[in-house]
């Protein structure tokens, strides 16, 4: 008997791990934070892994509340208490959330809480085990963002293809049909009719070319690695240049185009992109203005942000239309094209360019009263002013003139 080797059963029977043994095992788990709390949720033990993760030494954290490791938001929402309640009810509580280190930095952790019971089943406190999985969380979030970006780009691609294959193809088919009719019946067409046909083809071709240019620009910026070169410059110079470009459009509808932007008004932006934004918004305002209408350009500086607005006294938009003007949905673009109205590609382009600057674009409108498009840009400007007061004064002056 004395020479028999010790079997696993004999070892298990003869060796009883001590509390010190378990303490050493727990303390050796450096990748895991393991600590206990009493029934008042006061921390009363703290392993080496917890120090490595939370940066608190044992003598710094013992005696402190369980709430110490939670974010202010989670504390306000009662998350620590909810964890404990669930652990009591279910025997354990598992969750993944952000926690706070000693230096205030956050990390994402997989956590487990379960009740600590005595020999007779009495509640002694709770054990919390967690592991830092920030790297996995960051990777997962990056993948989610990447997937969403791909979905957006795919939707964008479908929008571009749809407009190219349907909305721009249809007018070309109309051109071909009209040209074929003209060629076949050329000897029967009067000079006046021929001039009318040529005028129609010319104006329609310009319109479609404008839409195609906007579409190509929108697609190029959305897909390609666009060079973005923001600089400081005077906004007034850009506005004057646009006024010159659009002078024929303005004269054709007898529109009073006014700039109330103080000279100089400094902004920080990519000058080509800003010109494209403003030109699209002013062109849109001209298109939907009544003959003899008024368009006003304003700019204010507010908290180191420039807010630029284009206001017209045109036909305005309904609330329903306002919800869709910056939405690149195929059915809406197609409906606008079918109605022989602006498909909104210029507005989509403007939105893309504004967002590239980290700004926002929005619209306010009332049917038969006019529309205001505004967008924000970061950078220096002139003294702060009230956009609302300027707009109110403008409409009051315009109504007085009309009366």
pLDDT of residue 23: 56
Q: Let me know whether 127 and 233 are in one domain.
A: no
Comparing 166-175, 241-250, 305-314, the range with the smallest average pLDDT is 166-175
CA dihedral 222, 228, 230, 231 (to 10 degrees): -140
**Sole residue written with tokens 């390609």:** 224
pLDDT of residue 170: 59
- In the chain, the number of structural domains is 2
Average pLDDT, whole number, for the chain?
Answer: 77
Indicate the pLDDT class of residue 333, thresholds 50, 70 and 90: very low
Does residue 348 register a pLDDT over 80? no
Does 300 reside within a domain?
yes
Residue bearing the bigger pLDDT, 87 or 378: 87
The stretch 210-228 carries a mean pLDDT of: 60
Does residue 345 register a pLDDT over 70? no
Give 149: exposed, middle or buried? Use CB within 10 Å, 0-12, 13-18, 19+: exposed
Q: What is the largest CA-CA distance in the chain?
A: 127
pLDDT of residue 200: 80
Kindly state the percentage of the chain with pLDDT values over 70. Answer: 71
The stretch 240-266 carries a mean pLDDT of: 87
Q: Let me know whether 243 and 116 are in one domain.
A: no
Q: Let me know whether 391 and 275 are in one domain.
A: yes
Does 343 reside within a domain?
yes
User: What CATH number corresponds to the domain at position 76?
Assistant: 3.30.450.20
Does residue 2 register a pLDDT over 90? no
pLDDT of residue 41: 93
CA distance 48 to 54: 10
Does residue 81 register a pLDDT over 90? yes
pLDDT of residue 380: 44
pLDDT of residue 177: 80
pLDDT of residue 164: 59
Last residue of a domain, one of 132, 159, 185: 132
Does residue 135 register a pLDDT over 50? yes
Backbone angles phi, psi at 344, to 5 degrees: 90, 10
358-367 per-position pLDDT tens digit = 899 999 988 8
Provide the CA 237 distance to its chain's centre, in angstroms.
30
User: What CATH number corresponds to the domain at position 251?
Assistant: 3.30.565.10
The stretch 147-172 carries a mean pLDDT of: 62
Does residue 217 register a pLDDT over 50? yes
Does residue 140 register a pLDDT over 80? no
Q: Which domain holds residue 385?
A: 227-402
pLDDT of residue 395: 45
Last residue of a domain, one of 132, 152, 184: 132
The stretch 54-74 carries a mean pLDDT of: 92
Q: Let me know whether 128 and 240 are in one domain.
A: no
Last residue of a domain, one of 114, 132, 150: 132
Kindly state the percentage of the chain with pLDDT values over 90. Answer: 21
pLDDT of residue 343: 46
Q: Could you tell me the pTM of the whole model?
A: 0.47
pLDDT of residue 315: 86
Does residue 374 register a pLDDT over 60? yes
Q: Let me know whether 113 and 233 are in one domain.
A: no
Does residue 179 register a pLDDT over 90? no
345 near 221, Cβ under 8 Å?
no
Residue bearing the bigger pLDDT, 85 or 352: 85
Closest CA to 129 of 159, 106, 109, 101: 109
**Sole residue written with tokens 């993944």:** 96
Does 364 reside within a domain?
yes
Q: Let me know whether 102 and 244 are in one domain.
A: no
């Amino acid at each position: 008997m004395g020479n028999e080797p010790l079997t696993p059963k004999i070892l298990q029977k003869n060796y009883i791990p001590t509390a010190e043994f378990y303490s050493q095992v727990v303390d050796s788990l450096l990748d895991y934070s393991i600590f206990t709390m009493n029934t008042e949720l006061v921390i009363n033990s703290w392993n080496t892994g917890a120090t490595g993760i939370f940066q608190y030494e044992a003598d710094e954290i013992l005696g402190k509340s369980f709430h110490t490791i939670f974010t202010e938001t989670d504390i306000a929402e009662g998350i620590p208490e909810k964890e404990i309640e669930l652990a009591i009810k279910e025997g354990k509580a598992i969750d993944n959330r952000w926690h706070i280190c000693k230096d205030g930095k956050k990390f994402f952790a997989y956590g487990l809480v379960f009740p600590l019971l005595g020999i007779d089943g009495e509640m002694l406190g709770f054990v919390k085990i967690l592991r830092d999985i920030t790297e996995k969380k960051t990777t997962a979030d990056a993948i989610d963002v990447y997937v969403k970006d791909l979905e957006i780009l795919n939707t964008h691609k479908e929008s571009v293809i749809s407009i190219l294959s349907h909305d721009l193809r249809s007018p070309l088919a109309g051109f071909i049909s009209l040209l074929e009719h003209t060629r076949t019946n050329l000897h029967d067409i009067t000079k006046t009719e021929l001039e009318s046909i040529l005028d129609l083809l010319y104006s329609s071709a310009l319109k479609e070319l404008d839409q195609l240019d906007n579409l190509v620009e929108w697609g190029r910026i959305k897909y390609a690695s666009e060079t973005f070169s923001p600089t400081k410059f005077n906004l007034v110079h850009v506005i004057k240049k646009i006024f010159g470009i659009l002078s024929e459009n303005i004269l054709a509808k007898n529109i009073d185009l006014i700039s109330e932007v103080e000279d100089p008004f400094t902004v920080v932006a990519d000058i080509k992109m800003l010109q494209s934004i403003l030109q699209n918004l002013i062109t849109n305002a001209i298109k939907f203005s009544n003959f003899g209408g008024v368009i006003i350009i304003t700019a204010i500086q507010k908290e180191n942000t420039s807010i630029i607005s284009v206001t017209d006294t045109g036909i305005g938009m309904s609330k329903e239309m306002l919800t869709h003007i910056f939405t690149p949905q195929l059915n809406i673009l197609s409906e606008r094209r079918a109605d022989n109205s602006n498909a909104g590609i210029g507005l989509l382009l403007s939105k893309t360019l504004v967002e590239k600057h980290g700004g926002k674009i929005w619209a306010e409108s009332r049917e038969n009263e006019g529309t205001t498009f505004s967008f924000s840009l970061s950078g220096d400007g002139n003294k702060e002013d009230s956009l609302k007061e300027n707009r109110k004064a403008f409409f009051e002056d315009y109504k007085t003139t009309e009366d």
